[in-house]
Amino acid sequence: MKTANTVNRTHKTTAAKETDTAIEMSSISKIFGSKTVLKEVSLSINRGEIFGLLGPSGAGKTTLLKILTGQIPPASGSSSLFGTDSQKRSDEICSSIGMVLDNSGLYCRLNCYDNLMLFARIFNVKKERICEVLQQVKLSEDAKTPVNQLSKGMTQRLVLARAILHKPRLLFLDEPTSGLDPHTAEEIHSLIFLLRDEGATVFLTTHNMEEATKLCDNVALLNEGIIVEYGRPEEICRKHNSQNIVTILCKDGTVVSFSNHSTSADTISTYFKEDRVAAIHSSEPNLETVFIAVTGRTLT
Amino acid sequence: MRMIRGRNVYAVFLKQANDILKNTAVLILFAVYPVIAFVMTKSIPEQSVFFVSLFGTMHAIFTPLMATSSIIAEEKEKNTLRVLILSNVTPLEYLLSIGTFVFICTNVSAFLFAAMAGFSGMDYLCFVLAMMLGSICSIILGASLGTFSKNQMSASATSMPLGMVFSFLPMLASFNTSVKSVSRFTFGQQISNLLASPRLSTFTAEPFIIIGANLLIIAAVFLYAYRKKGLDG
């Protein structure tokens, strides 16, 4: 059934969907006290994609992530990871997923290597893999540094290293670059792309729309527990491009706008031929503007 | 119920061993009573059995209670326990690892205490076993307090007075008969009695019945705490 809050983006046959779907959510609701945090959320996320759950603080992102990782049960509805009920914390599920939570959960007196060693033992991973992931997150030289002496960016990279240590098929990242400087955030982005290229599915929550636009294959905008928009970031922006105009900033400082239509092509071409164009912009809104337009709320 | 996986218990145990070496506060806790007992028995050798039973009781009761509650509460506070449980370490595996670790750390000194008092043969063995029995009660009590507490601060606030009640009551009871009449129903007093006179021939059923009853109550408290709060917050 397709409800107002249901998005079914899979255009394949049911049989194909079973094998291609990494995460399946069906009518998930969650209530805390008298407050309904999630309302009938249904989504399907394919394997190998980077999916972004976007929304302001308190929208229900972390609650949904907690339900998917089996930390809390939903009030109603169901969710599955690779076809297995996500509420059942089986060995298979645990070894399939890696998590970067809102809190690092690292042992601050232990060094980077020892922190990873604990999880290598739990997941039965060879010691060589620890060096491999430390290298991957560029922490090889700090392997023996205690966690309480690491910077925030290094700590976040170590958390990511712990999450990918056992080569999970699915990664949950809760605000992975929150509070990080642009350079470190960029490094984390590169790692996320690398993991996707290696075949992992990435589910990330963020309220950074720029990051989501850059990273995600698909995004869902969550507001007050309801998915208000879903799709590819550029498609969403295009869909909400109500002005649909092209603006040219001329070298002499003047700004001219044209309808984004074939009828404007000749005029725009003239500007280029006369070498008057300093910059050209389309009027597509960014995800943040779309979110504000759809919900009337800001993203803080 | 899921099986206990030795790999997980071993992993957490080794982590704890590694972590404790860098945790001065807990490390001192394990050393303080054996050191005091050593100093006192060397200073007043004729009272060595008294000092060993006194500080041995404190060590067997106070130390594991404080250490267990502190370790669990810290893991809850810093979210490390949540990460472990999400990595498929079951609460039982975790508690078994921490309990075993604290048990070993506490009872390594049991052999030293017995040697300080000059016990040998069966007396030596009975002394060590009595200390082990006391530490088991305290570990479960500490696990209950750690489970109940949100953070280390609140764990210390509850385990400190409770630890003092159980471990210091035997000493106070030796000065006051009213205290003694109450204290005899606590496992701390019974452990203290067993440590002061660890002779198999003098053992009666009473201390074991009282310790057993205490253990049942403590286990019930732990189950209540676990069901109420859980380990992963």
Best to test chain A binding among B3, B80, B97 (most A CBs inside 10 Å): B80
Nearest CA of chain B to the CA of A125: how many Å?
A: 12
Gap between the terminal Cα atoms of chain B: 21
pLDDT over 60 (residue A16) = no
User: In B, residues 35-94, which contact A (CB 8 Å cutoff)?
Assistant: 78-80, 82-84, 86-89
Question: Residue A19's pLDDT is what?
Answer: 56
From chain A, the residues in CB contact with B80 under 8 A are 105-107
Question: Residue A8's pLDDT is what?
Answer: 40
Are residues B80 and A106, on separate chains, in Cβ contact within 8 Å?
yes
Question: Residue A299's pLDDT is what?
Answer: 61
Question: Residue A18's pLDDT is what?
Answer: 46
Question: Residue A15's pLDDT is what?
Answer: 39
Question: Residue A30 in contact with residue A63, Cβ under 8 Å?
Answer: yes
Residues 6+ apart with CB under 8 A from B190: B184, B206, B207, B208, B210, B211, B214
CA separation for the pair A133, A163 (Å, rounded) = 10
Percent of chain B with pLDDT strictly greater than 70: 98
From chain A, the residues in CB contact with B84 under 8 A are 122
Smallest CA-to-CA distance from A243 within A229, A228, A255, A257 is with A257
Question: Residue A63's pLDDT is what?
Answer: 92
Mean pLDDT of B197-216: 90
Residue at B130 is within a domain: yes
Nearest CA of chain A to the CA of B149: how many Å?
A: 18
What are the boundaries of each domain within chain A?
A: 14-232, 242-283
Nearest CA of chain B to the CA of A138: how many Å?
A: 23
3-state secondary structure at position B78: coil
| HEC profile of chain A | CCCCCECCCCCCCHHHHHHHEEEEEEEEEEEECCEEEEEEEEEEEECCCEEEEECCCCCCHHHHHHHHCCCCCCCEEEEEECCEECCCCCHHHHHHEEEECCCCCCCCCCEHHHHHHHHHHHCCCCHHHHHHHHHHCCCHHHCCCEHHHCCHHHHHHHHHHHHHCCCCCEEEEECCCCCCCHHHHHHHHHHHHHHHHCCCEEEEEECCHHHHHHHCCEEEEEECCEEEEEECHHHHHHHCCCCCEEEEEECCCCEEEEECCHHHHHHHHHHHHCCCEEEEEECCCCHHHHHHHHHCCCCC
Q: Is A106 on the interface with B (CB under 8 A)?
A: yes
Question: Residue A298's pLDDT is what?
Answer: 67
Q: Residue A253 CB: number of other CB atoms within 10 A? A: 7
The residue type at A251: K
Question: Tokens for B172?
Answer: 């106070």
Residue at B1 is within a domain: no
Are residues B14 and A121, on separate chains, in Cβ contact within 8 Å?
yes
Q: Residue B229 CB: number of other CB atoms within 10 A? A: 16
In this predicted model, what pLDDT tens digit does every residue of B85-99 receive, in sequence order? 989 899 999 999 999
Mean pLDDT of A47-66: 90
| Structure confidence at residue B233 as a pLDDT band (50, 70, 90) | low
Question: Residue A150 in contact with residue A107, Cβ under 8 Å?
Answer: no
Are residues B87 and A105, on separate chains, in Cβ contact within 8 Å?
no
Question: Tokens for A282?
Answer: 């389309």
Inter-chain contacts counted by CB atoms under 8 A, chains A and B: 62
Question: Tokens for B228?
Answer: 């109420």
Question: Residue B4's pLDDT is what?
Answer: 86
pLDDT over 60 (residue A3) = no
Are residues A110 and B19, on separate chains, in Cβ contact within 8 Å?
yes
Helix (H) or strand (E) holding B153: helix B152-173
| Structure confidence at residue A6 as a pLDDT band (50, 70, 90) | very low
Q: Are strands A84-85 and A97-100 parallel, antiparallel or unpaired?
A: unpaired
Residue at B173 is within a domain: yes
Smallest CA-to-CA distance from A55 within A174, A175, A215, A207 is with A207
From chain B, the residues in CB contact with A172 under 8 A are none
Question: Tokens for A172?
Answer: 């949950």
From chain B, the residues in CB contact with A89 under 8 A are 86, 88
3-state secondary structure at position B84: helix
pLDDT over 50 (residue A2) = no
Residue B79 CB-density burial (10 A; 0-12 exposed, 13-18 middle, 19+ buried): middle
pLDDT over 80 (residue A1) = no
Would the ipTM clear 0.90, i.e. be above it? Answer: no
Exposure letters A58-94 (e unless 16+ CB within 10 A, then b): ebbbbbbbbbbbbbeebeebebbbbeeebbebeeebb
CA separation for the pair A227, A60 (Å, rounded) = 10
Smallest CA-to-CA distance from B82 within A25, A180, A89 is with A89
Average model confidence (pLDDT) across chain A: 86
Are residues B79 and A103, on separate chains, in Cβ contact within 8 Å?
yes
In this predicted model, what pLDDT tens digit does every residue of A251-287 receive, in sequence order? 888 888 888 778 888 888 888 898 988 988 877 788 8
Handedness of CA A52, A56, A59, A63 (dihedral sign): positive
| Structure confidence at residue A184 as a pLDDT band (50, 70, 90) | confident
CA separation for the pair A275, A268 (Å, rounded) = 11
In this predicted model, what pLDDT tens digit does every residue of B16-67 receive, in sequence order? 999 999 988 888 999 999 999 999 999 999 999 999 999 999 999 999 999 9
pLDDT over 70 (residue B114) = yes
Question: Residue A219 in contact with residue A212, Cβ under 8 Å?
Answer: yes
Are residues A71 and B19, on separate chains, in Cβ contact within 8 Å?
no
Q: Bridge-partner residues for A46, per DSSP?
A: A21
Smallest CA-to-CA distance from A99 within A46, A25, A168, A49 is with A168
| Structure confidence at residue A104 as a pLDDT band (50, 70, 90) | confident
Q: Residue B106 CB: number of other CB atoms within 10 A? A: 28
Average model confidence (pLDDT) across chain B: 91
Q: Is A69 on the interface with B (CB under 8 A)?
A: yes
Are residues A119 and B15, on separate chains, in Cβ contact within 8 Å?
no
Comparing B231 with A178, the larger pLDDT belongs to: A178
Q: Is B14 on the interface with A (CB under 8 A)?
A: yes
Best to test chain B binding among A72, A81, A88, A121 (most B CBs inside 10 Å): A121
Q: Bridge-partner residues for A36, per DSSP?
A: A31
Specify the residue for token string 């729309």. Answer: A209
Q: Residue B22 CB: number of other CB atoms within 10 A? A: 16
Homologous superfamily of domain range A14-232: P-loop containing nucleotide triphosphate hydrolases (3.40.50.300)
Q: How many residues belong to chain A?
A: 300
Nearest CA of chain B to the CA of A228: how many Å?
A: 30
Residues 6+ apart with CB under 8 A from B27: B20, B21
Smallest CA-to-CA distance from A218 within A197, A206, A194, A234 is with A234
pLDDT over 50 (residue A162) = yes
In this predicted model, what pLDDT tens digit does every residue of B137-167 receive, in sequence order? 999 999 999 999 989 999 999 999 999 888 8
CA separation for the pair B40, B18 (Å, rounded) = 31
Residue at B218 is within a domain: yes
Best to test chain A binding among B88, B92, B101, B152 (most A CBs inside 10 Å): B88
Domain ranges, residue B141: 6-229
Exposure letters A266-297 (e unless 16+ CB within 10 A, then b): eebeebeeeeeeeeeeeebbebbebbeeebee
Hey, what's the torsion of the CAs at A84, A87, A88, A90, to 10 degrees? Answer: 80
Question: Residue A141's pLDDT is what?
Answer: 94
Comparing A238 with B59, the larger pLDDT belongs to: B59
pLDDT over 90 (residue A74) = yes
State pTM to two decimals.
0.83
Mean pLDDT of A231-249: 85
Domain count, chain B: 1
